[in-house]
Chains A and B, each alone.
Chain A
């Protein structure tokens, strides 16, 4: 019917379809990676670094004592027994501290687990350095066996003075089915 102006309208349409496609791709190739990068870089959202921290010799601040609480949670449907050896320890900023989490697989078949850490208050996340953590890797466990999983950490001396207590929470997930494909580790 309307042929007079058909061509410029088609041009506009093609450009706009392009915009829509770009915006759809934007979600996957920009928003998702950018979110992860920002959370990691700024330590926001309670996310601690997924990589081992290399300790800088800086001495221990004996004047302050920080209470570290450990929380272990099982994700829905995860049958493992999972708990910290001690639920609370007091540490000095700058000191290297060790503790252990206990895990036991009560089922007869082998499973793989992944622990995801979260620090509260979230402001403290960037001052909580893990030099060694079972959460850096997936944890395979044979059926009916148990394991002591080590954690070594340093609380930064620059931790804001109003923070007296830090809670480190781990949630353990069953990743047995995903283990072949996904390797996301943090």
Chain B
């Protein structure tokens, strides 16, 4: 270990008052993993209920609370904070900055999260139960027919939106102002690029989400009628406002994952990333298109045919920049000196499964066909292929890839590979059959189903238990690595890894790049 003149403070106050980007990144990652387990536990309840047709374990009202909280916690509590944690750890180290631009705000944006999710989870014990209107909280289900706990839900969404906005402002301010001399925009690692664009999306759409829940709050408590037809409002307006936030939100979730994969695949292919410039432009195009496709989530509300066509073509257009990305990743691997360590396995798993999710997304984008798929298990299968196999697989890859750098200890490779294969098999057994039951007409968010769907649902449930259990193995592997992994001291943990974060000591010291590094002007981006 290098000797530092001022290391971290000791005890609990280190974590409460820290402004260190590495500490805050660590807290984000642990918090998001805790939320991942909680949201996963709710998913297990859902799958246990759906193991057999008929009412088995929970009553329908509680089932609805589970689907709602599972979605909310996974999106806002697990996936988003995990990538913010990764950004905190890596962005300063990747651009040669000593810390984030606004360290105190950084502390705040993390510490308002745990109480918020505690509040959200506490609605389970309130009279009338937790929110039960789905994570999309369509009015009037979430206004006129909502349980009283909806007000706590609204407050939670406000606070977590605030946290996301503060986090993104910090990331943008850091990337724009704190790059080491010579680190031009087009030399930044792709993870930094994807996060910069993601942060702009967040600043633009989290206030829209805040606006939507504010209107709900006013409808419920202050007698306005934004979404109530009685006073001249319109419930369909809610869906437009929600999805104007909601569609950019799905790219907020997946773009940092693209960034992670763009760092890891070159490292284990021992080749620079193919088509760096096109990757940047593709990311920016996806971000732009995400603002003009929102109504493809609501083809069935009775839009005019011109609207259906516009949103259909605009949605299909997204396949072009996404295809560019997939092409570039595959071309990076082409004739590379490939090795298949755990991070690479998760990235290849991401590549295969995310592409399947992309194709089902294209199927859903076809407006006339969507009337069949709408609100069916086909949609559930689609978005779990892009959310779990996309975002969660790449996040897992990121942990295996950078954890040795962070803690100076190597994880157990055999256990990592086992985790990958169990996850990969469990995931596909869970979600692949859901395509079939969805196409055959099984609706989502219903605790019971017709008898002919039994076999596929049993498969789904067994797969879900396997996938869920594999995450315990992951948790064990991470803790075992931190506590007693094989110590390593090479600055470059991986032979093919490129980038500034691999030039500092291993384990990464508490303070890095207090003097900016020299960037070789001829050196390409990493």
Contact = CB atoms under 8 A, between A and B. Distances in A.
Interface of A: 1-2, 5, 8-9, 12-13, 16-17, 19-21, 23-24, 26-28, 31-32, 35-36, 39, 42, 44-46, 75-76, 114, 116, 122-123, 171, 173-175, 177-178, 181-182, 184-186
A28 to B, nearest CB: 6
Contact of B234 (A1, A28, A39): A39
Contacts of A35: 234, 237, 240
Contacts of A23: 203-205, 207-208, 211
A16 B169 contact: yes
A124 to B, nearest CB: 12
Chain A interface helix/strand/loop/mixed: helix
B172 to A, nearest CB: 6
B307 to A, nearest CB: 8
Pairs A-B, 8 closest by C-beta atoms:
A27-B211, A184-B232, A173-B230, A24-B207, A9-B101, A23-B207, A12-B173, A9-B173
Interface in B173-217: 173-174, 176-178, 203-208, 210-212, 215
B231 A12 contact: no
B231 A182 contact: yes
A122 B144 CA distance: 25
A9 B169 CA distance: 10
B45 interface: no
Interface of B is mostly: helix
Interface residues on B, range: 35 or more
A182 B233 CA distance: 11
Contacts of B176: 8-9, 12
13 contacts: A2-B103, A12-B176, A13-B173, A16-B168, A19-B203, A26-B208, A27-B211, A31-B208, A45-B301, A122-B302, A174-B230, A177-B223, A178-B223
Contacts of A76: 144
B98 to A, nearest CB: 6
A177 to B, nearest CB: 7
B241 A27 contact: yes
A60 to B, nearest CB: 28
B212 A178 contact: no
B212 A44 contact: no
Given A5-B101, A9-B102, A178-B231, A20 B207 contact: yes
Given A19-B203, A45-B234, A177-B223, A171 B99 contact: no
Interface of B: 19, 98-99, 101-103, 144, 165, 168-169, 172-174, 176-178, 203-208, 210-212, 215, 223-226, 229-234, 236-237, 240-241, 244, 301-304, 307
A91 to B, nearest CB: 24
Nearest to B237: A35
Given A45-B236, A185-B232, A20 B206 contact: yes
Given A5-B101, A23-B208, A75-B230, A31 B169 contact: no
Nearest to B179: A5
A42 B172 CA distance: 40
A133 B380 CA distance: 45
Given A27-B208, A76-B144, A182-B224, 11 more contacts: A2-B98, A12-B172, A16-B173, A20-B165, A24-B207, A31-B208, A32-B215, A45-B302, A114-B231, A177-B223, A181-B223
Given A20-B207, A44-B303, A116 B241 contact: no
A184 B178 contact: no
A17 B233 CA distance: 30
Contacts of B225: 178, 182, 184
Nearest to B98: A2
Nearest to B165: A20
Contacts of A8: 176-177
A116 B244 CA distance: 26
Nearest to A184: B232
Contacts of A31: 208, 211, 240-241, 244
A132 to B, nearest CB: 20
Given A24-B210, A35-B234, A45-B234, A9 B178 contact: yes
